[in-house]
C-alpha cells in the first residue's frame, strides 16, 4: 500500500511538472508564430564584458522600434517561474503591436558576464546597449524603456546620459532608483528619514549572487549558452526564511550571515550613512542629473516610496529643459508595489476595499510608445491628463495639472492633549490652533519590544509585513503609541497631496526615532492606515552630519512628507499616530547613539512630544473640500 501511494504521488508530481512545462511551451509557441527569436545574444559592452540578451521581433524586413527591459531576475525561458512567463507575455504583446522586445540581464546576473551591483552599474552598460540596438538592421533607431521595480529603477540615471535613441520611458514602481531629490535622501529606498528600510535585507538575501557561485567560462559562445540554458540556468535555490523572525536578529549587519546566505553587496551597503559618497557613484538618479526623456511615471499609494516618486516627477517638471518637462506625466493607482493590473471590480488593498480601480494600462502605455517610437499622431499628449490619480474613500479616478492638485489648500492641525495621548484611550486631539500650555505626552520606547509593522506602504519583506490598509485599533491599545484625532467631520473632505509634520521632541537618549502614521477612522472605530514615515533624530539638521540630543533639551524635527489621496466621509475622523518604531519595515533605533547597524543591545528611551504655542507640533494636510 505504501509503495502504491508513493507511486501515485510520483505520477501526480510528474503530471503537475508536465502541465507547467506544457503551459510554458504553449506560450513560447504562441510567440514563435509571430516573432523571430534570438536567445542568449551576448551583447558587448565597452570594456569587453558581454550581457546575455534575448530578442523577440516581428517577422518583417522593415526596421521596427524597440521596447527594452533590463532586469536582475531570471528570464530563462526553460523551467517555470513568474518572471519567465511574464517575459513571454510582454514579448507577445510588444511583437503583435509591431515592436521588437529586448530583455537583458544586468552585468553579473545569470548568464551575463562581469560582477553585479544594484541597478546594473556601470551606467554605461545602458548607454552601450542603446548603441548596439540602434545599429542593428531590424531597429528603426527608436528605443523605449519599460518595466516595474528592478526593471524600472535603472532607467532614470541612464536617461540622464541622454542617448539619442532613448526616445521614451515608462518606469513603474521606480522608487529604488531615486537617490537624492531635494530634502529627500532615501538613496534608493535604503533609508527613510535616516532610518534603514529593511526591505533590502530580505531582498538581497535572495538576489545577491555569492562570489563562489558556479559560472560559465568567460567568452563562451551564444551557441553553447543556448544549448546549456535548456537544462542549466544559473538559478540558485535559496533556503526559505521566516523573515518575521529573521529580521529580528541583531546586529542587522549579520542578518544574512545568520541565515547562512550568500556574500555580496549587503555587507558593504549596510555600513553606508545617508550621505555616503558611494551613493553617488552607482546607478541612482540624483537631482543634479539632467533627465532628458519623455516619461509616464507610474506610482502606487501603497508602494514603499510614493513620496520620493512624486517628488522626482515634480523635480523633472520644474527643472528639465522646457520641451522635456512638458512631456512628463504621472499616474497613481491605489495598489501595492507593481500590482497595477491586479485591480478588480472590487479592489481590496490589505483588508480595505477601494472599489473598482481597473484601468486600461496597455492602451495608455502603447499609445505612449506609438507616439514617441513610431511617430503616430494619436493625440496621446493632448488626451492624457498631466496627473491621473485614484482617490480612495470616494473610490474614483481623478485628474489634475499638478501635484498636489491646483485647487488643494494646505490646512494645519495642531497636536493637543491633557498630557495622556498614550493609546486609543487617551485624550490626544488634532485642533485648529496651537494649545497655550504645554501638556506634553511621554512614552517609553524599548527597541527590544518595538511597535510591530501592521500593513503599510511596503515591499519585498517576505512574510514579515503584509502591505496595504488594515484596521489599526488593536495596535492603538499600546501605551507607546500616541494617538491624535480630529472630532468626527461635519462634512466630507478630500486629502490629495503631501502630508507634512513638524514635531517638538525631547528624550533621555542621545538618539532615537519618531514615527508618524496617517489614519482614516470610520464611525464604527475602524482605523485604516494611509501612509507612514519616520525620522532619525540625529539627522534633524541634515544628512551630512549627525547631531545628538541632550537630556532636558527640546528639538524641532521635520519628518519626510507622506502622500496620499483619500476622501474622509462625513462622520469620519482624521488621525495620526506618533511613536518611535515601526518594525520590521524600519530598523529599530537602539537609542545608544552608536552606529546601530553593528550593535546588538539597545537601551530604553523616554521620549516626549511637546505641543504648545512655544512648541507647536503640527501636521499640514493638502485638503480639497467637496
DSSP string, 380-448: HHHHS-SEEEEEBTTTEEEEESSSS-TT-EEEEEEEE-SS--BSTTS--EEESS--SS---EEEEE-TT
**Contacts (Cβ under 8 Å, ≥6 apart) of 264:** 116, 204, 208, 209, 210, 211
Residue entry with cell 472599489? 355
The DSSP code sequence of 118-184 is TT-S-THHHHHHHHHHHTSTTEEEEEEEEEEGGGTTTHHHHHTT--TTEEEEEEES-GGGB-EETTE
CA distance 432 to 486: 9
Q: What is the pLDDT of residue 84?
A: 66
How many CA atoms does the CB half-sphere of 530 hold within 13 Å? 28
Q: Which residues of 96-126 are buried (b: 16+ CB within 10 A; e: fewer)?
A: ebbbbbbbbbbbbbbbbbbebbbbbbbbebb
Strand order through the sheet with 139-148? 35-44, 50-58, 100-105, 64-71, 139-148, 166-172, 295-302, 328-336, 387-391, 396-400
pLDDT at 13: 35
- Give the per-residue pLDDT at 26: 76
Q: Do 580 and 512 touch, CB atoms closer than 8 A?
A: yes
Taking Cα atoms as reference points, which of 370, 363, 387 lies closest to residue 144?
A: 370
DSSP element (H, E) containing 30: helix 2-32
* Same fold: 1-151 with 409-625: no
Q: What is the pLDDT of residue 23?
A: 41
Three-state DSSP string of 331-380: EEEEEECCCHHHCCCCCEEECEECCCCCCCHHHHHHHHHHHHHHCCCCCH
How many angstroms separate the CA atoms of 496 and 485, rounded?
19
Identify the burial level of 133 via C-beta atoms within 10 angstroms of its C-beta, where 0-12 means exposed, 13-18 middle and 19 or more buried: buried
Instruction: Assess contact for 486 and 432: CB atoms under 8 A.
Output: no
HEC-encoded secondary structure of 538-572: HHCCCCCCCCCCCCCCCEEEEEEEEEEEEEECCCC
Q: What is the DSSP string of 251-266?
A: SGGGHHHHTT---STH
User: What is the architecture, at CATH level 2, of domain 409-625?
Assistant: Sandwich (2.60)
Specify the DSSP class assigned to residue 224.
Answer: H
Residue among 485, 481, 486, 487 nearest 423 (CA): 481
Q: Give the start-to-end residue ranges of the domains of the chain.
A: 1-151, 409-625
Q: How high is the pLDDT of residue 8?
A: 38
* The pLDDT of residue 109: 94
Q: Give Cα separations from 270 to 49, 198, 204, 266, 447 (angstroms).
A: 28, 10, 11, 6, 19
Look at residue 3 in the predicted model and tell me its pLDDT. Answer: 40
- Strand-pairing partners, residue 297, are 330
The CATH classification number of 1-151 equals: 3.40.50.1820
* pLDDT tens for each residue of 585-608: 999 999 999 999 999 999 999 999
Stretches where the chain sits below pLDDT 50 are 1-24
Cell of 18: 508536465
**Grid coordinates belonging to 132:** 548596439
**Residue listed under C-alpha cell 510520483:** 10
Q: Which value, to the nearest 10 degrees, does the dihedral of the CA atoms of residues 315, 320, 322, 327 take?
A: -70
Residue (of 406, 416, 370, 369) closest to 385 by Cα position: 406
- What pLDDT is stored for residue 20 in this prediction? 38
pLDDT at 1: 41
From the list 408, 566, 385, 382, the residue with the least C-alpha distance to 489 is: 566
Contact 203, 262 (CB under 8 A): no
Helix axis angle, 82-96 to 2-32, nearest 10°: 20
Amino acid at each position: 500500500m505504501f509503495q502504491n501511494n508513493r507511486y501515485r504521488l510520483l505520477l501526480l508530481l510528474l503530471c503537475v511538472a508536465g502541465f507547467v512545462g506544457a503551459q510554458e511551451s504553449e506560450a513560447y509557441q504562441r510567440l514563435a508564430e509571430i516573432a523571430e527569436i534570438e536567445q542568449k545574444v551576448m551583447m558587448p559592452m565597452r570594456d569587453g564584458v558581454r550581457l546575455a540578451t534575448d530578442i523577440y521581433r516581428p517577422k518583417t524586413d522593415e526596421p521596427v522600434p524597440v521596447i527594452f527591459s533590463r532586469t536582475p531576475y531570471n528570464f530563462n525561458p526553460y523551467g517555470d517561474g513568474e518572471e519567465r512567463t511574464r517575459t513571454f507575455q510582454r514579448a507577445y504583446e510588444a511583437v503583435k503591436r509591431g515592436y521588437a522586445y529586448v530583455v537583458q540581464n544586468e552585468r553579473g546576473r545569470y548568464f551575463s558576464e562581469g560582477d553585479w551591483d544594484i541597478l546594473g552599474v556601470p551606467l554605461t552598460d545602458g548607454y552601450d546597449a542603446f548603441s548596439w540596438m540602434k545599429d542593428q538592421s531590424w531597429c528603426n533607431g527608436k528605443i523605449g524603456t519599460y518595466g516595474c521595480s528592478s526593471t524600472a529603477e535603472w532607467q532614470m540615471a541612464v536617461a540622464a546620459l541622454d542617448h539619442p535613441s532613448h526616445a521614451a520611458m515608462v518606469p513603474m514602481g521606480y522608487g529604488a532608483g531615486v537617490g537624492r531629490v531635494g530634502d529627500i535622501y532615501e538613496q534608493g529606498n535604503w533609508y527613510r528619514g535616516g532610518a534603514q528600510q529593511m526591505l533590502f535585507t530580505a531582498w538581497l538575501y535572495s538576489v545577491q549572487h555569492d562570489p563562489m557561485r558556479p559560472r560559465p567560462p568567460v567568452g563562451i559562445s551564444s551557441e553553447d549558452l543556448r544549448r546549456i540554458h535548456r537544462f542549466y540556468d544559473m538559478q540558485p535555490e535559496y533556503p526559505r526564511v521566516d523573515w518575521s523572525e529573521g529580521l529580528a536578529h541583531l546586529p542587522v549587519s549579520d542578518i544574512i550571515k545568520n541565515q547562512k546566505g550568500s556574500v555580496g553587496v549587503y555587507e558593504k551597503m549596510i555600513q553606508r550613512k545617508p550621505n555616503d559618497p558611494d551613493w553617488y557613484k552607482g546607478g541612482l538618479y540624483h537631482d543634479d542629473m539632467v533627465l532628458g526623456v519623455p516619461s509616464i511615471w507610474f506610482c502606487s499609494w501603497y508602494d514603499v516610496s510614493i513620496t520620493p516618486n512624486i517628488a522626482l516627477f515634480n523635480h523633472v517638471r520644474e527643472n528639465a529643459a522646457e520641451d522635456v518637462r512638458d512631456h512628463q506625466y504621472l499616474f497613481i493607482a491605489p495598489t501595492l508595489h507593481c500590482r497595477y493590473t491586479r485591480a478588480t471590480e472590487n479592489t481590496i488593498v490589505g483588508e480595505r476595499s477601494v472599489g473598482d480601480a481597473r484601468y486600461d494600462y496597455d492602451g495608455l502605455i502603447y499609445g505612449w510608445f506609438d507616439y514617441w517610437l513610431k511617430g503616430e499622431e494619436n493625440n496621446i499628449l493632448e488626451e492624457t491628463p498631466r496627473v491621473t490619480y485614484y482617490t480612495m474613500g470616494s473610490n474614483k479616478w481623478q485628474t489634475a495639472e499638478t501635484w498636489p492638485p491646483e485647487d488643494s489648500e494646505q490646512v494645519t492641525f495642531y497636536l493637543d492633549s491633557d498630557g495622556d495621548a498614550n493609546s486609543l484611550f487617551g485624550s490626544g486631539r488634532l485642533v485648529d490652533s496651537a494649545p497655550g500650555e504645554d501638556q506634553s505626552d511621554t512614552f517609553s520606547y524599548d527597541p527590544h519590544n518595538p511597535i510591530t509593522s501592521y500593513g503599510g506602504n511596503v515591499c519585498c519583506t517576505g512574510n514579515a509585513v503584509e502591505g496595504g490598509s488594515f484596521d489599526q485599533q488593536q495596535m492603538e491599545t499600546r501605551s507607546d503609541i500616541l494617538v491624535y484625532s480630529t472630532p468626527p467631520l461635519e462634512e466630507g473632505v478630500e486629502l490629495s497631496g503631501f502630508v507634512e509634520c513638524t514635531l517638538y521632541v525631547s528624550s533621555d537618549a542621545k538618539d532615537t526615532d519618531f514615527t508618524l502614521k496617517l489614519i482614516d477612522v470610520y464611525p464604527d472605530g475602524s482605523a485604516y492606515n494611509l501612509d507612514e514615515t519616520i525620522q532619525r533624530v540625529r539627522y534633524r539638521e541634515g544628512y551630512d552630519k549627525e547631531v545628538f540630543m541632550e537630556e532636558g533639551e527640546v528639538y524641532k524635527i521635520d519628518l519626510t512628507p507622506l502622500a496620499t489621496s483619500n476622501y474622509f466621509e462625513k462622520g469620519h475622523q482624521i488621525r495620526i499616530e506618533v511613536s518611535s518604531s515601526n518594525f520590521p519595515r524600519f530598523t529599530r533605533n537602539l537609542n545608544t547613539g552608536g552606529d546601530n547597524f553593528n550593535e546588538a543591545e539597545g537601551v530604553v528611551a523616554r521620549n516626549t512630544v511637546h505641543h504648545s504655542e512655544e512648541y507647536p507640533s503640527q501636521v499640514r494636510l493638502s485638503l480639497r473640500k467637496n
